[in-house]
Chains A and B, each alone.
Chain A
Amino acid sequence: MKAKTKIYIFCVSLIICLLSACTNSDLEQIMENEAEQQDETNSEMKATEETEEEQSDSHASIEPRQGGTLTYGMIAEPKMFNELYSDDSASSDVEINLFDGLVQVGPNMEVEPLLAKKWDISDDGLVYTFTLKEGVKFHDGEELTAEDVAFTFGIFKDDDYTGPRAGSFEYLADVRAVDEYTVEFRLSEPDARFLTLAGYGILPEHILGDVPVEDLGNHPFNTKEPVGTGPFRFVEWQAGQYIKLEAFEDYHQGRPYLDHLIYKFVPDQNALMSQLEAGDVDMMVIPATEIDMAQQWDEDGKIKLHAALGQQYNYMGFNLRLDLFKDKETRQAITHALDREAIIEHVVMGQGEIAHGPVSPLSWAYTDKLPRFEYDPDKAKALLAEAGWEEGEDGILERNGQRFSFALSTNQGNKVREELTVVIQDQLAEVGIEVQPNLMEWNAFIESITPPQNDFEAFISGWSLGADPDPRDIWHSDEIEQGLNSVGYSNPKVDQLIDKNIHLIDQEERKKVLEDIFVTIADEQPYTFLYYPYELTATPRHMRGFAQHPQLRFYKAHEWWLDE
C-alpha cells in the first residue's frame, strides 16, 4: 500500500515535469499540470492584472536597477541547449536566453524583429531577404554575420540532419549569405508559416562550421559550451542541481539588468512550492493544484502572481471510427449537454474561458463566427432523439441495440483532467449517456490514442498551439495514419482548404480560408472544445519589467530587474 502511494505521488510530479515539450513555434500535446490552471474567479484575476498595471505605471518613472540573481524553479531538467535538436520545454526555457533568432514571436503572436533589422518578401512569396543588425556579438566576442544564419538554416536541409525539425522546412530550397549582413531564403513553394519558422536560435559557424552534421546532435557544444547571441551566457550546468547563466555584457539590445539567472531543478511539486515560499526559488509556473496557496502568498506579499491566457485549449476527443460517434448530431448533443461554465468554475476555479473551436483567441486567425453549442440539456436530448437514440431499460440511451456508454481516458496524475472525467460523467448521465472514467499512466495513455493502436473511445487532453495557426497537424486526414489526428477526423473539403492555406501569403486571404476550416470543424464537433486555460506565473514581489507571454516564459528577460 505504502509503495503504491509513493508511486502515485511520483506520477503526479513526474507527469508535470517530464512530459512537457513546448518549443517556440510548435504545437504539441499538453500533458503538464501546469497547462491547466485553477484559481479564483475571473473578476479577481482581472483585479490582479489591473493592480499589476498600476504598479508598473507607478514604477515607470523609476530607473531600472542593475544587479541581482533570479532563481527560476523548474521540475524537469533540460536536455541540451540547441534548438535544432531539443524537443522539451525545459530546454527551450534556457535556450531562449542563450540564443537569439532572426525574429521572435511577440505577446500578440505577431512576428517581431530580433537579430534581423528588417525583412522583405518577394511578391511571389518565394524569396525572403533578411537584413541583420550590425555589430551583434556572440558570447565569445565574434561578430554575427549572414554566414552564421546561412550555416544554421543549412543544417535543417542537410541529409545527415537527424533532429526533430526537418519536416518544418520542407519548402525551404536554399539559404545563402548575400553579403555580410544580408541573408536570402529561397522557397520551392510559398509558405505562409515561414516567418514564424525563422526564429530558431542562430548557431556560431566559427565554432560548429567544421563539425559534420551527423555529429552535431551529440556535440559537446549542446551541453557543455553553448555559445549564442542571447542576453545571457552559459556559466555551468550541475547535473541534477542547477544551470547558471550570467549577463552578457555585449548583448545587442543592451546588457541585461540581472547579473545572474539560475535555473534550479526541483523534481517534486510540493518541494518546489516550499522552496518558493522559503524564497529559495524566486520564480516558477504555478500548477493547477496549487493556486489557492499561491493566491494566499500573493496577498501576503511573498510573491507576485501573474495570470494570462495561454496559447492552448483543452478538449474531449471522440474516436470517430466508432459507430457511437459517427454522426455529428450525437457529438453536438454531447457538447450541448455539458455545462462548461460550471466546469471552468468548479474544476479550474474560473481560470479559463469556454472554447468553441480549434483556434486560440490570441491568434490573428481567431474568428467570432465559430458556432456555439451552449449548455442546453433539452436541446441535447432532442438532438439525440433525432440521431436515433432511445431510452433503454436501464435509463441509458440505446441505438440499434447498442448502449450509449463509453470509456473516457486521460492521463493519471493530472488532477484537473481526472476531475474533468468525473464531472463529465456526471453531466452526461443527465441525458442518459454512461461514461466510465479511465485513468492511465502517461505512456500507456499516449500509446492508446496514437496510431497504429487507436484503442480508445474518448479522451481528455489539451493542445498547446504554435504561433502559426496552420491546422494541418491535427486536422488533415493525412495525419490519421501517422500523426496527431488521433480522432480520425476526415473531411475532403477541410483537407483541401488546409493544403491551400499555407501557400496563401496574403494574411487576409489566408484568414478567410482558415475561418472556413475552423467553422467547419467546430460545427462537426470531432472534439468537445472545453476551455482555454489561463497560465499563472509567480515572480518576486519586487521584480519589474516582466510581462507574461502566452508561449515564451523568458520573453525579453534582459528587461527584467529587481527593485530593492
Chain B
Amino acid sequence: MIGYILQRSLMAVPILIGISILTFAMMHLAPGGPTALLVDPTISPEAREAFLERYGLNDPLPVQYFKWAGAAIQGDLGYSLIYTGTPVSEMIFSRLPNTLLLMSVSFLLALFISIPLGIQAARKPYSLTDYSMTFFSFVGVATPNFWLGILLIMWLSVHLGWFPTGGVATIDAPLNIWDRIHHLILPAFVLATADMAGLTRYVRSSMLDVLKQDYMRTARAKGFREITVIYKHGLKNGLIPIITLCGFMLPSFFAGSVIVEQVFSWPGIGHLFIQAVFQRDYPVIMGITMMTACLVVLGNLLADICYALVDPRIEY
C-alpha cells in the first residue's frame, strides 16, 4: 500500500510539471498583460516599464518560468501583480477554506441525494419513478449553474426571504453555526445539482447490474430484510465504480465552484481565479491552478485508496 502511494505520488510529478508548463504558456499567449489595465495616462511609460522590470516580466518566457518554478518548489508562489505586495499563498489560503467547505458540503449533498435516488430507480427500472428520475437528471445536467443560482436567489431569497442573497455569513454578526449553514444551503445545493444528476444515473446503472447478481438472491434467500440486502450487500458492490467517478468529479466541482462563488458572492478561490484571469495576475493564476491540480491529483489518489478499502479483491 505504502509502495503504491509512493509510486502514485512520483507519477504525479510529471503531471504537475506538465500542467504548470501548459498553464504558463497559455496564460502568456493570451493577449494583453497585467499592465493593460494601467490605462491611466498619469502612469508614465517609465513607470510601466519599471513595473515590468520589477516583476521580471521583461525576461524571456523560459527564464520567467524557471524562476517561478524554482521558487514554487520551495513553497514561494510569489506576489500578486494587482494586489501589489500581497503574497499569493496568503491570498489562496485565506480563501481556500471557504471553497473547500462549499465543495465538501456539495459533494456530500450530491452523494446523499443521488445514491438513494439511484438505488430506488434501479430497484424499479422502467417504472414511473425511474422515468421521472431520468427526466430530472437530464434537467439537472442541462441547467447552467449560474442561471439556477440567480433563479433561486430571486425566488427563495428576494421574494420569499428564506435565504440570504449571498456571502458566507451575516456581515458583522458574531460567529454563528446556524448563520453559516443558512448561507451555505443555496450555493451548496446549486453546486451539487449538475453532478448529482449524473451521479444518480451512474448509481442506477451500477446497481442495476448488482441487483441481478447471484449473491443478491442468496442474501434474500437467507432471509435478510430487503433494506439490509440492498444497502449492505448490494450497495457495497455497486459503489465500486462510483468511487472512481467521485475522483473524476473533483475537477468539475472546482470548475463549478468558480461559477457558484461568483453568483453567491462566496469569497473562495474560484472567485479569486476569475478575477486573476481577467486582470492577467500571472502569479495568482499559476498559484491557483497548481493548487487545484495538486488537490485533484490527491483526490484521485484517495479515490483509488478507497477503492481498495471497499473491494477486498483489489490489492496494491
- Which of these, B41, B84, B265, contacts A483 with CB under 8 Å? B41
Alpha-carbon separation in the docked complex, A280 to B272 (Å): 22
Please name all residues of chain B whose beta carbon is closer than 8 Å to the beta carbon of A267 when the two chains form the complex: 262, 265, 271, 274-275
Alpha-carbon separation in the docked complex, A517 to B264 (Å): 49
- Which of these, B37, B47, B144, B165, contacts A271 with CB under 8 Å? B165
> By the criterion CB–CB under 8 Å, are B275 and A14 in contact?
yes
Q: Is B40 an interface position by the 8 A CB rule?
A: yes
Q: Is B86 an interface position by the 8 A CB rule?
A: yes
Q: Shortest distance in angstroms between A339's beta carbon and chain B's nearest beta carbon?
A: 30
Q: Shortest distance in angstroms between B39's beta carbon and chain A's nearest beta carbon?
A: 5
- State whether A18 and B275 are in contact (beta carbons under 8 Å apart), knowing that A162-B54, A241-B168, A266-B166 are contacts in the complex: yes
Q: Is A442 an interface position by the 8 A CB rule?
A: yes
Q: Shortest distance in angstroms between A441's beta carbon and chain B's nearest beta carbon?
A: 7
Q: Is A454 an interface position by the 8 A CB rule?
A: no
> By the criterion CB–CB under 8 Å, are A166 and B44 in contact?
yes
Tally B residues with Cβ within 8 Å of A. Answer: 58
Q: Is B30 an interface position by the 8 A CB rule?
A: yes
Per-position contact with B for A1-34: 1 when CB-CB < 8 Å, else 0? Answer: 0100110011001110011010100111100000
Q: Shortest distance in angstroms between B274's beta carbon and chain A's nearest beta carbon?
A: 6
> By the criterion CB–CB under 8 Å, are A6 and B259 in contact?
yes
Which DSSP category, helix, strand, loop or mixed, fits chain A's interface? mixed
Alpha-carbon separation in the docked complex, A167 to B50 (Å): 14
> By the criterion CB–CB under 8 Å, are A223 and B274 in contact?
no
Please name all residues of chain B whose beta carbon is closer than 8 Å to the beta carbon of A77 when the two chains form the complex: 275
Please name all residues of chain B whose beta carbon is closer than 8 Å to the beta carbon of A18 when the two chains form the complex: 37, 275, 278-279
Please name all residues of chain B whose beta carbon is closer than 8 Å to the beta carbon of A157 when the two chains form the complex: none
- State whether A28 and B40 are in contact (beta carbons under 8 Å apart), knowing that A162-B47, A239-B94 are contacts in the complex: yes
Please name all residues of chain A whose beta carbon is closer than 8 Å to the beta carbon of B259 when the two chains form the complex: 6, 10
> By the criterion CB–CB under 8 Å, are A484 and B39 in contact?
yes
Number of A-B contacts (CB under 8 A): 172
The segment from B150-158, B238-246, B304-312 found at the interface with A is B150-158
- Which of these, A6, A21, A473, contacts B37 with CB under 8 Å? A21
Alpha-carbon separation in the docked complex, A84 to B263 (Å): 33
> By the criterion CB–CB under 8 Å, are B32 and A446 in contact?
yes
> By the criterion CB–CB under 8 Å, are A168 and B157 in contact?
no
Please name all residues of chain A whose beta carbon is closer than 8 Å to the beta carbon of B279 when the two chains form the complex: 18
Q: Is A443 an interface position by the 8 A CB rule?
A: yes
> By the criterion CB–CB under 8 Å, are B146 and A9 in contact?
yes
Please name all residues of chain B whose beta carbon is closer than 8 Å to the beta carbon of A71 when the two chains form the complex: 171
- Which of these, A23, A444, A447, contacts B40 with CB under 8 Å? A23
- Which of these, B43, B50, B157, contacts A274 with CB under 8 Å? B157
> By the criterion CB–CB under 8 Å, are A167 and B37 in contact?
no
- State whether A447 and B31 are in contact (beta carbons under 8 Å apart), knowing that A9-B146, A218-B85, A271-B263 are contacts in the complex: yes
Range class of the A interface residue count: 35 or more
Please name all residues of chain A whose beta carbon is closer than 8 Å to the beta carbon of B272 when the two chains form the complex: 240
Please name all residues of chain B whose beta carbon is closer than 8 Å to the beta carbon of A29 when the two chains form the complex: 39
Alpha-carbon separation in the docked complex, A264 to B274 (Å): 18
Q: Is A48 an interface position by the 8 A CB rule?
A: no
Alpha-carbon separation in the docked complex, A85 to B82 (Å): 11
Please name all residues of chain B whose beta carbon is closer than 8 Å to the beta carbon of A280 when the two chains form the complex: 164-166
- Which of these, B158, B167, B265, B271, contacts A277 with CB under 8 Å? B158
Please name all residues of chain B whose beta carbon is closer than 8 Å to the beta carbon of A10 when the two chains form the complex: 259, 262, 274, 278
> By the criterion CB–CB under 8 Å, are B31 and A441 in contact?
yes
- Which of these, A2, A238, A274, A479, contacts B153 with CB under 8 Å? A274
Alpha-carbon separation in the docked complex, A28 to B168 (Å): 35
Q: Is B295 an interface position by the 8 A CB rule?
A: no
> By the criterion CB–CB under 8 Å, are A443 and B33 in contact?
yes
Which 5 residue pairs spanning A and B have beta carbons closest together? A443-B32, A240-B267, A218-B85, A473-B41, A444-B31
User: What would 11 A/B residue contacts be, using CB atoms closer than 8 Å?
Assistant: A5-B144, A6-B145, A167-B43, A264-B265, A270-B263, A271-B263, A280-B165, A444-B30, A446-B32, A447-B32, A483-B45
A contact set with B: CB distance below 8 Å = 2, 5-6, 9-10, 13-15, 18-19, 21, 23, 26-29, 71, 77, 79-80, 85, 87, 162-168, 217-219, 222-223, 238-242, 244, 262, 264-268, 270-271, 274-275, 277-278, 280, 441-444, 446-448, 450, 473-474, 479, 482-484
